Chain A
Amino acid sequence: MAPLLKVTKVSKHFGGFTALNGVSLEIAEGERFGLIGPNGSGKTTLINCIAGALRNESGQIVFQGREVSGLPAYQRTRLGIARSFQIPRPFHTMTVLENLLVPTAYVVHLKDTEGEAEAMAILKAMGLADKAHTPASQLSQVELRKLELARAMAARPRLLISDEAMAGLAGAEVDEVLRILFDLNEKGITIIMIEHIMQAVMRFSQRVVCLDAGAIICEGAPAAIVQDPNVQRAYLGA
């Protein structure tokens, strides 16, 4: 079966600095995929290239059989790629519900009456239903993280990229977000998870890729990744 997402030799430079150096990977439909690597290894750059926030300079990005490298981000979202942001970027002058009404209107093209129903259902699943009419600016960190995921969900994605959704969260909160992601995957959504919290990545992922200095240094099952000497060197230094 053709992969949902196929990234082939993608490169990206910022001036003299090489952020991505010929990265290739494939993600199957319904897969739970983990992306790890030390700070500055290119994880977020890769995500930005896939989602369209950045344009890759070379290589191909093929989603559902379609080359998307040249498309602006909003069109990629409409094709089914959604992402949450590492540092939450809520629409702070809107309420939680209104935040979700943006993707329901612009990605799924629902009228507000239907959009509200769908948004409320998502908020309920995320545990944010009681905050629906709260301004996004008044949410706590955990709630903002959940809002990021909820908003990404409202776009009815085929592929969801979760960029460090658990950063800075503690035990029970991590479990909560993890549960949400497992549930989403159960519904058939392919998920790419970027995380630093190793136990979360290992519990969640079926396959893990480790980046370092813009290149893939290891790929495989979680157990194998942890043992890999290259990965250990990348995280702990030579």
Chain B
Amino acid sequence: MKFWIAMGVLAAAAIGLALSPVNEYFFYAAYVVLTYVVLATAWNILGGYAGYVNFGTPAFFGIGAYAAVVLMRWLHAPLALQIAAAALMGGLLGFGVGMLTLRLRGIFFAIATVAVIFIMETLMINWRYVGGATGLQLIRPDVMAPFASYTRMLFVVMALMAIAAVAIARYIQDSWIGRGLRAVRDSEEAAEANGVPTLRLKLLACTVMGALMAAAGAPMPMYLSFIEPASTFNLSYTVGALGSAIIGGMSHWLGPIVGALLLGSLQQIITVTISGEVNVLVVGVLLVLFVVLAPQGLLGLFKRWLPFSR
């Protein structure tokens, strides 16, 4: 119950912020950070809870973005419908990749997710309808009442999506599904021997992950007023999602949030003050440091320093 009250407060705060005279740049930056909250939370459902590493975040994110573009061009669909369609496509992709490779060892799944990025990118590069390699310009309304700008509206949308993603992750974590996934992660063989339908649970986690990641990608084309394959299928989404979850902590839904907020903010600062490449390097180094030294992430470190634990 406390959770829902907190979420309600956050939602109200987001709307309130969007209606306030805060600097426009804040919403541009916050949108990106919130996107990473959704991506990291989604990643963690399969990566943290079940122990299967997905390198293919850009593929799911990208299929969502392009699904949104297709719906926009074809049906002039409103954003809500675009997001729904994106989630559907992302879920299907997750299910498909899962069916293909979740029976095999984790590394095969991981490599398959890399393959999907490339294949999706190649398909989009060769599809004129969505702009091909050069991309597509998109026109979006300047204003979206009651908000002063379209960006503010997107910020609120992404905030609500983040809340939804976290709620879903929390539900999965605390339910019998979560226990089954944890059993799969701890010892897949023992889980199977103890009645856990391992493949089905993995597929469920993979499908949910795919749907959420794609949903996060849907508003992106409108955010940029532009879509093109290279930046959409950018590998920095991989590092961002994976890194946020690992740095924040993989065993609890709070971890990806903490990680994404930290990494997202850090990234904004470094990119603006030093350079985009150094920023990426820093994220990579942090990822390796945490994987080696603090595998339980910031949450894990926190637990060790606090006298009590959850």
Q: Hey, which bits of chain A sit against chain B, CB under 8 A?
A: 51-53, 72-74, 77-78, 82-83, 85, 89-94, 98, 101-103, 105-107, 151, 155
Contact = CB atoms under 8 A, between A and B. Distances in A.
Question: Looking at chain B's contact residues, is the secondary structure mostly helix, strand, loop, or mixed?
Answer: helix
Given A77-B194, A89-B187, A151-B190, 4 more contacts: A74-B195, A90-B187, A94-B183, A106-B196
B196 A53 contact: no
Given A74-B197, A93-B182, A93-B251, A102 B192 contact: no
Contacts of A51: 193
Interface in B250-308: 251
Interface string B146-186: 00000000000000000000000000000010011011011
Contact of A94 (B186, B189, B195, B198): B186
- Considering residues B180, B182, B186, B198, which has the most beta carbons from chain A within 10 angstroms of its beta carbon? B186
Contacts of B190: 85, 89-91, 151
Interface in B195-250: 195-199
Nearest to A82: B193
A98 B176 CA distance: 11
Contacts of B72: none
How large, as a class, is the contact surface on chain B? 20 to 34
Contacts, number: 76
B53 interface: no
Given A89-B187, A93-B186, A98 B195 contact: no
B125 interface: no
Nearest to A115: B176
Contacts of A78: 195
A102 B189 contact: no
Nearest to A111: B176
A53 B194 contact: no
A90 B186 contact: yes
Contacts of B251: 93
Contacts of B185: 93
B182 to A, nearest CB: 6
B191 interface: yes
Contact of A92 (B186, B196, B197, B199): B186
B105 to A, nearest CB: 15
B196 A91 contact: no
A74 B179 contact: no
Contacts of A107: 194-195
28 contacts: A51-B193, A53-B193, A74-B192, A74-B193, A74-B194, A74-B195, A74-B196, A74-B197, A77-B193, A85-B193, A89-B187, A89-B189, A89-B190, A90-B186, A90-B187, A90-B190, A91-B186, A94-B183, A94-B186, A98-B179, A101-B179, A102-B180, A105-B180, A106-B176, A106-B180, A106-B196, A106-B197, A151-B190
A53 B189 CA distance: 7
A110 B75 CA distance: 48
A23 B87 CA distance: 50
Given A91-B182, A91-B187, A98-B179, A83 B193 contact: yes
Contacts of B196: 74, 102, 106
Contacts of A77: 193-195
Nearest to A112: B176
A102 B183 contact: yes
